[in-house]
Amino acid sequence: MLESKVNHTETGTLRVKTGFAEMFKGGVIMDVVTPEQAIIAEDAGATAVMALERVPADIRRDGGVARMSDPDMVVGIVNAVSIPVMAKCRIGHFVEAQILQSLGVDFIDESEVLTPADMQYHVNKHDFKVPFVCGSRNLGEALRRIGEGAAMIRTKGEPGTGDVVEAVTHARQIMGEIRKVQGLPEDELMTMARDLQAPFELVRYVWANGKLPVPNFAAGGVATPADAALMMHLGMDGVFVGSGIFKSGDPVKRAQAIVKAVTHYKDPEILAQVSRNLGEAMVGIQVVALTPEQKMAVRGW
Amino acid sequence: MNVGVLALQGDFREHKLMLERLGCSVQEVRLPKHLEGLSGVIFPGGESTTIGKLMVAYQMDAALKKFAASGGAIWGTCAGAILLATDIVDSNQPRLGLLEMRIRRNAFGRQVDSFEVPLEVAGLVAPFHTVFIRAPVIESVGEGVEVLSSFEGRIVVARKDRIMASSFHPELTNDSRLHQLFLEKVIGS
């Protein structure tokens, strides 16, 4: 047996954090509120679960301040499944993030679904061993979050609505801006960085590589297999489904169908087959019917 | 050389880019028909339970067993290694059982315990910079299975004939030597 002589191991590195995010690609991350739902999600083929007390649709309905979930509830889910578990902290609430890291969650979502704790600053994610995912509506916002240490980006969409329109808008916006940066001559990058309000080195990375330096997922309003496949076609690396599964008539069947749709998004015959007889989709709210105060996507700085 | 990358879920694009850099023509494999004409397939990292279920859903499991039986080479990295095992500790998840080994998922702990370390691998001259992410370890191997690398006494690369398994992620580095080894020594054997 060949034994290694080199023993210098390093944990919590940027490569280990973004590398973990790469493993979720082509997969579906599902919101769950109980260990039972987490097991259903795992059995349906979720690549990870997001543990929270209320799905976005209920947060929207209930109003009030939405905070990090109870540690007991998060640990209950961590212990129930073998797949990775994510949990949400409020924007800027680095103590909630420290608590979640100490509980052993695998990923933290610094999320606009919860009520922001800071109106100006996000968590300094470089300070943590656990990786973070953050929402963004455009390239500048995505690169600011990555600059703060985010290992994964997702569209914000409009969570808890079941209306995919905002996720589509944000995906098109980011992918369009990436193409625009890619087409620039090198000497225009600094001015572009100024206009995007984004770190220059990251703008340069996008220019050289034609993509974000971390995976970019769809989130916020995905409710059907067709929605999930649409987001994949728009260049997203995978999909978060929040209220869409457990607020629907047949969560098991819908969860399995969305998992298959993300893998086989280019195959309309498979999409047609998995879309049959899924029962009731979640009752939706049209994003255009929301007042500005009801929109979660505007949270984030 | 025509090589496939199992593209059901996970970081298959990174493997594809690495193989293309080495001059391969790469096929993304999602359905049995995509295996035609391939001499080898790489199983990427990802979530092994997800990939296993998607394999069963469209008969990829039977197709891959047939592919291996007819001389196709397979290399599984991380989740991909789990799918190749005969025995997965504490799990009845789908697997192909193409490499006789007992494998343990998440053997180093949760994500905060994931790490990088330079490691020696048999057949490579200089150490390989390895990235372990919620990685499995191979607890034991069957007869004739060769151990190519281990970390702190735990097996992390194993091979028998045309099947190879590794716990870590060479596709997350710029080092293509293991991909080259797969193309030359495993597919070429």
Residues 6+ apart with CB under 8 A from B162: B40, B68, B71, B72, B73, B74, B186, B187, B189
Answer whether A10 sits within 8 Å of B115, measured CB to CB: yes
The dihedrals phi and psi of A141, each to the nearest 5 degrees, come to -65, -40
Q: Which of B105, B131, B133 is opposite residue A82, by nearest beta carbon?
A: B105
Give yes or no for B144 touching A (CB within 8 A): no
Decide if A202 contacts A148 (C-beta within 8 A): no
Interface of A with B in 44-83 (CB under 8 A): 44-48, 82-83
Is pTM beyond 0.90 here?
yes
Give yes or no for B119 touching A (CB within 8 A): yes
Nearest Cα of chain B lies from the Cα of A192 at a distance, in angstroms, of: 28
- At A78 the three-state DSSP class reads helix
Answer whether B13 sits within 8 Å of A131, measured CB to CB: no
Query: Which candidate in B15, B111, B172 is best for mutational testing of the A interface (most A CBs within 10 A)?
Result: B111
Nearest Cα of chain B lies from the Cα of A41 at a distance, in angstroms, of: 10
Q: Which residues of chain B does A104 touch, with a Cβ-Cβ cutoff of 8 Å?
A: 110, 112
Tell me the C-alpha distance between A192 and B116, whole Å.
Answer: 35
Nearest Cα of chain B lies from the Cα of A268 at a distance, in angstroms, of: 14
Tokens for B29, please give them.
């494999």
Give yes or no for B166 touching A (CB within 8 A): no
ipTM associated with this complex = 0.95
DSSP run (H or E) holding A233:
helix A225-233
Q: Which residues of chain B does A209 touch, with a Cβ-Cβ cutoff of 8 Å?
A: none
Size of interface A-B (CB pairs under 8 A): 144
The dihedrals phi and psi of A107, each to the nearest 5 degrees, come to -155, 145
Tell me the C-alpha distance between A128 and A150, whole Å.
Answer: 10
Answer whether B116 sits within 8 Å of A263, measured CB to CB: no
Q: Which residues of chain B does A131 touch, with a Cβ-Cβ cutoff of 8 Å?
A: 111
How do the pLDDT tens digits run along chain A, 301 residues long? 344 444 678 999 999 999 999 999 999 999 999 999 999 999 999 999 999 999 999 998 998 999 999 999 999 999 999 999 999 999 999 999 999 999 999 999 999 999 999 999 999 999 999 999 999 999 999 999 999 999 999 999 999 999 999 999 999 999 999 999 999 999 999 999 999 999 999 999 999 999 999 999 999 999 999 999 999 999 999 999 989 999 999 999 999 999 999 999 999 999 999 999 999 888 888 998 999 889 998 999 9
Q: Does domain B2-187 have CATH number 3.40.50.880?
A: yes
Tell me how long chain B is: 189
Nearest Cα of chain B lies from the Cα of A165 at a distance, in angstroms, of: 25
